[in-house]
Amino acid sequence: MTMANTPTRHAERLRGGFLSGPASGVLILLGFYILLVVAFAIFTPFFATTRNAMSIASNVAFIGMMAAAGTPLIIAGGLDLSVAAVAGLSGVLIALLNAAGWPIWLAVGAALAMGVGVGLANGLLSTTLRLNPLIVTLATMSIVGGAALILTGGLTRPVMQPSFNWIGQGRLAGVPVPAILMLSVYVGLAFVLRATHFGRYVYAVGGNPEAARLIGLPVMRVQMVLYVISAVSGAVAGAMLAAMLGAAAPAAASPHLLTVIAAIILGGTSLAGGRGSVWGTLIAVLILGTLNNGLTLNDVSSFWQDVTRGVVLILAVGVDQVRLHLQAR
């Protein structure tokens, strides 16, 4: 019996190693990000400037916000494809209600309430009815996206309210407000996942839902809350985008859905649930945003940027598989 755990003990020692430690996924990603930044800084004029860094920060804020809230949801075994559509409808609601005479913050409140509603619908359908979240949120994505088109007739609507536009365009101590909002969501979620019992439940529920149920953990409630958080973050992201652009287009956010999911996966979160971290997602969001920015500064066409993003994603997932393999050995 003393021999029983010596191989595992050895595996445990390996875990301290760079490639196989438990936090190694995030570290590898961070290393890659630093390389990327250094490479761009050397080869690209104007890249390594405060101004450009702030531009990257405010450009990624909107995607980063949605990816942040999507991360714990995927860790817990859920999935939200409707988040970008919710962002679109959120901006549209704010623009239309404000134009109809609602005070701007009341309109924002209505958009957030819409987010709560969509989140509850996603949660109820996928937990109590046990429908596949991929199908449920694909359906709500279509419904919500359609609603935004119906309300606007497909047109872009302006929102011009200085206090509101500040959340998209303003700065605090030189840092763009959207970036600060996004970062605070990451800090908040990281704290919840690490330091609260709810955070423990998220990993337990995603790692083995049936075991979690038999332990008596509130599996449905956890997933429900996460669906609501995800949809509300979509609504906030949509408000931020509308504030930034000074206008709300019904389909403004939809093209970014795949970037959101790609960032979560690139960040090391397992689509099968149970593993992942919001810091990984944040670095992944920065990698994708920096890649876009750097390639644009180098006059690479946006068509090639899509190709590059795909290649990075495959590389990252490949490296991650190798890493997990090393860990399991």
Partner 1 sequence: MDNRIDMVNVDKSFGGVSVLSNVGFSIQPGEVVALLGANGAGKSTLMKILTGVYSRDAGSIKVEGVEVRMSNPREAAALGISFLPQEISVMPDMTVAENICLANMDQFGRGAFVDRAAMRAKATKILGQVGFDHVSPDSYVGHLSVAEQRIVEIARALASDANVLVMDEPTAALSERDAQAMFEVLRNLREDGTSVVYISHYLGEVFEISDRIEVLRDGRNAGSFHTAETDVESVLAAMLGRAAETLFDHRQAPSGGEAAFEAAALGWKDKLSDVSFTVSTGEIFGIFGLVGSGVEYLGRVVFGAEGRNVRGDMRLMGSPYRAISPAHGKACGLGYVTAERKADGILGDLSVAQNLASAFWPEYRNGPFASRHAEAALAQKWIKGFDIRTSGPDQPVRLLSGGNQQKVCVARWLHEGVRLLILEEPTRGVDMGARRDIYRQLAEFAAQGLTVLVLSSDAEEIAGLCDRSLVLNRGRVVQRFGRGADASALLAATALTDPAEVEKELT
Complex with partner 1: residue 214 or 311, whichever CB lies closer: 214
The number of residues that bind partner 1 (CB under 8 A) is 34
Buried b (16+ CB within 10 A) or exposed e, 237-267: bbbbbbbbbebbbbbbbbebbebbbbbbbbb
Binder among 210, 255, 299, 302 for partner 1 (CB under 8 A): 210
Taking CB under 8 A as the criterion, which residues in 10-39 touch partner 1? 10-12, 14
Q: Which stretch binds partner 1 (CB under 8 A): 212-220, 235-243, 289-297, 301-309?
A: 212-220
Binder among 19, 116, 200, 300 for partner 1 (CB under 8 A): 200
Q: What is the DSSP string of 86-121?
A: HHHHHHHHHHHHHHTT--HHHHHHHHHHHHHHHHHH
Taking CB under 8 A as the criterion, which residues in 139-158 touch partner 1? none
* CA angle centred on 140, ends 232 and 286, rounded to 5°: 50
Phi first, then psi, for residue 157 (nearest 5°) are -115, 135
Provide the mask over 263-292, with x wherever binding to partner 1 is found by CB under 8 A and - wherever it is not.
-----------xx-----------------
Complex with partner 1: residue 2 or 302, whichever CB lies closer: 2
Complex with partner 1: residue 115 or 209, whichever CB lies closer: 209
Binder among 143, 149, 183, 217 for partner 1 (CB under 8 A): 217
Smallest separation (angstroms) from partner 1 to the CB of 14: 8
Binder among 135, 195, 271, 315 for partner 1 (CB under 8 A): 195
Binder among 56, 108, 112, 212 for partner 1 (CB under 8 A): 212
Measured between alpha carbons, how far is 24 from 13 in angstroms, rounded to an integer? Answer: 14
Complex with partner 1: residue 78 or 91, whichever CB lies closer: 78
Q: Are 91 and 155 in contact (CB under 8 A)?
A: no
Measured over the CA atoms of residue 120, residue 126, residue 131 and residue 133, the dihedral's sign is positive
Q: Per rule CB under 8 A, is residue 199 in the interface with partner 1?
A: yes
Give me the count of residues in the chain: 329
Residues forming the site for partner 1 (CB under 8 A): 1-12, 14, 195-197, 199-201, 203-204, 207-208, 210-218, 274-275
